[in-house]
């Protein structure tokens, strides 16, 4: 599927990059920004996984999400082929799976009584970082979709929206199922 025998090509030295369709775009193009920001989400999840390696409830889901994020990136990159020759894209089934994971983790959490400040365990803190980067990616994807002549698939947008929800719930779960959540105290320092 992907063969990389040379890492540098020099084709991007002029400030452009190639999409999966072969079209060249500026490196600051919203489409490139969208999938580049999802790559940041993926890298941040890699940091989370340094702290969840032995956690059977979180780590397998995070590993699957890292792989699925490449499907979303391929979709945004307008990749022409995937397995079987079809255009590679994230699917509604992947969104449904993510919703199931959110529900599974959320079942064990007490209802929130305040907003949560990023922190607690290292895994939770990195999960919140991944969540905020994911929300930025979502905003970029919406801006891209709103550009004339541009498209973003509904499944990709739904997946990224649900992923930020998953990362929030998983962050609470990583904080001893919410017991170590750091809660916002409105007006505490006035």
Q: For residue range 36-52, list pLDDT tens digits in order.
A: 999 999 999 999 999 99
Residue 59 is predicted with a pLDDT of: 98
> Is a pLDDT exceeding 70 seen at residue 71?
yes
A 10 A CB-CB count for 161 gives 17
Rounded distance, CA 190 to CA 187, Å?
Answer: 6
Residue 85: which pLDDT band, with cuts at 50, 70 and 90?
low
pTM value?
A: 0.90
State residue 116's pLDDT score.
Answer: 93
* pLDDT for 82 beyond 60: no
Q: CB neighbours of 171 closer than 8 A, spacing ≥ 6?
A: 116, 118, 120, 123, 124, 125, 127, 128, 131
| Domains of the chain with bracketed CATH | 24-179 (1.20.1200.10)
Give the residue-averaged pLDDT of 5-24.
74
In the structure, what pLDDT confidence band is assigned to residue 80 with cuts at 50, 70 and 90? Answer: low
What pLDDT is stored for residue 86 in this prediction?
A: 67
């Amino acid at each position: 599927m992907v063969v990389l025998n040379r890492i540098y090509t020099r084709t991007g030295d002029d400030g452009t990059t190639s999409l999966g369709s072969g079209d060249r775009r500026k490196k600051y193009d919203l489409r490139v920004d969208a999938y580049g920001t999802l790559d940041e989400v993926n890298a941040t999840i890699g940091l989370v996984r340094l702290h969840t390696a032995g956690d059977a409830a979180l780590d397998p889901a995070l590993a699957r999400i890292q792989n699925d994020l490449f499907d979303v990136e391929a979709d945004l990159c307008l990749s022409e082929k995937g397995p079987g020759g079809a255009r590679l894209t994230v699917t509604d089934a992947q969104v449904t799976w993510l919703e199931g994971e959110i529900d599974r983790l959320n079942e064990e959490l007490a209802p929130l009584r305040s907003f949560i400040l990023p922190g607690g365990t290292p895994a939770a803190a990195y999960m919140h970082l991944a969540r905020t980067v994911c929300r930025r990616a979502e905003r970029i994807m919406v801006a891209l979709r709103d550009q004339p002549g541009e498209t973003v698939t509904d499944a990709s947008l739904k997946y990224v929206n649900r992923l930020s929800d998953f990362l929030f719930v998983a962050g609470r779960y990583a904080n001893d199922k919410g017991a170590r959540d750091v809660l916002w105290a409105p007006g505490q320092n006035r």
